[in-house]
Amino acid sequence: MRSEPSVSELRSRVAANVRQLRGVAGLTQDQLAERANLATRHVQKLEAGSVNATFKTVAALAKALDVDASLLLAPRNAG
């Protein structure tokens, strides 16, 4: 039976995936924050894994990055 990821693991996944997808999109943290209607400092904290992302934030980031929200929560070795 597969165990569910911990909150810490999900936070790490979001951090790594946002960093990676932002880089692929060629966006700075400032640009991503503006597109997602978030504070730049919040994007910095999300990418550092020091804050939890709400569903609303995950949806806003996914839209700003033009990806499915599930990609932000996916294990880092997926896809």
Q: In the chain, how many domains are there? A: 1
- Domain with 61 in it: what CATH number? 1.10.260.40
* Residue 1 resides in a domain: no
User: Does some domain include residue 12?
Assistant: yes
**Contact, 18 vs 67, CB < 8 A?**
no
pTM comes to 0.90
Kindly list the averaged pLDDT for each block of 10 residues, start to end, along the chain of length 79: 87 97 98 98 98 97 98 80
Residue with tokens 């910095």: 44
pLDDT for 1: 67
